[in-house]
Amino acid sequence: MPRIGRRLGGAAVALLSLAAAAPSGAVEAATHDESPTAINRRVTDPVSTTWSLQLENVLNVLDFGAQGAHAQNQLKFQPTMPLWLTNDLKLIARPTFTLVEDTPYENAAGDIARTTGVGDTTCDLVLSPRLGPYLFGLGPTFTFPTANLKQTGQGQWQMGPAGVLGYKQPRWLAGVIWQQWWSFAGPADRQGTSELHAQYLFSWFFGDGWSVGTSPTIKVDWRASGEKVTFPFGPSVSKVVKVGRLPIKLELRGMYVPIHPQDGQVGIVELIVQPVVPAPIDSPVFGAGSP
């Protein structure tokens, strides 16, 4: 676990250094000199035009029954890259890379062992029209078997639909982000997959960049033989700060999981560092003018 912390700290410093090295005018163009609260609203909006680099450390507490609870640590990197296709339609690419996964597992002897490796990679490609206060997006999602160990990935090529549905006001935002994956290729010795993720989110925005809310992800493993549902709930608190001219959203989430499969999550703590970066393309790909 300490080496995971060192890697998280090193990666965070590297990200901040790269973003801070951007020209100051470019960062100002990305934020339009907005207040921290306005930036928080834009970064929280799942279909906004804001580019960001999210670094997330997830601590899961897994219940192994008679063998007790054991910690699993994941370090994830999720850039959000929206692109205006026309004045009224944007494409949002949101890949998620599991850079490090330190996980417990039950070995052949029935004991709990640990291993550390790279996890699978997912990517959503969502089209979102301009709909005022309504949040809507729809497109495909993919899972690539990039894990280097059996214990840190599912070993299957997967795809399916993804979407966003919600509503926002100046003081609050509510919505659902969902993905459904089905496996279509992979080794014969790895089990096929059919899995739904549905993240329900709500945020209330205060002054000076603060917000509180909730954003757990419900998971349904349709092919599980026992309990199929993982249902967490819990609060989150976030604040946007500025390092020089660079806006960074900091967020802490804590969740309890009363419904979970055997060997599943019973508790989750997530720490997120999310720098806001300039958009390399700020005009529509097809058509003239600024959106």
Per-residue confidence (pLDDT) for residue 4, from 0 to 100 = 41
Q: What is the mean pLDDT of the chain?
A: 89
pLDDT at residue 82 tops 90: yes
The stretch 128-140 carries a mean pLDDT of 97
**pLDDT at residue number 291:** 60
pLDDT of residue 254: 98
CB 250 within 8 A of CB 243: no
pLDDT digits (tens, 9 = 90+) for 141-165: 999 999 999 999 999 999 999 999 9
* Structure tokens belonging to residue 56: 């997330």
Q: Which of 24-28, 120-124, 221-225, 263-267 has the lowest mean pLDDT?
A: 24-28
Mean local confidence (pLDDT), 176-192: 95
Q: Please tell me the chain's helix, strand, coil percentages from 3-state DSSP, rounded to the nearest 5.
A: 15, 55, 30
Q: How far apart are CA 36 and CA 207, in angstroms?
A: 8
State yes or no: pLDDT of 28 exceeds 70: no
For residue 179, give the nearest of 215, 143, 153, 146 by alpha carbon.
143
pLDDT reported for residue 108: 82
pLDDT at 237: 98
Residue 42 pLDDT > 50, yes or no? Answer: yes
Backbone region of residue 287 per phi and psi (left: phi > 0; alpha: psi in -120 to 50; beta: other values): left
Instruction: Sketch out the chain's domains with CATH numbers.
Output: 2-277 (2.40.160.40)
Asked if 197 contacts 217 with a C-beta cutoff of 8 angstroms, the reply is yes
The Cα–Cα gap between 216 and 235 comes to 9
pLDDT confidence band for 8 (50 / 70 / 90): very low
* pTM (whole model) above 0.75: yes
Q: Name which of 243, 247, 256 is nearest 274 in CA terms.
A: 247
Instruction: Give the single-character DSSP code of 47.
Output: T
Coil vs helix vs strand at 165: strand
The count of other CB atoms within 10 Å of the CB of residue 146 is 14
pLDDT band at 176 (very low <50, low <70, confident <90, very high): very high
Query: Which single residue is written with the structure tokens 């990517």?
Result: 123
* CB atoms closer than 10 angstroms to residue 289: 9
What percent of the chain shows pLDDT beyond 70? Answer: 88
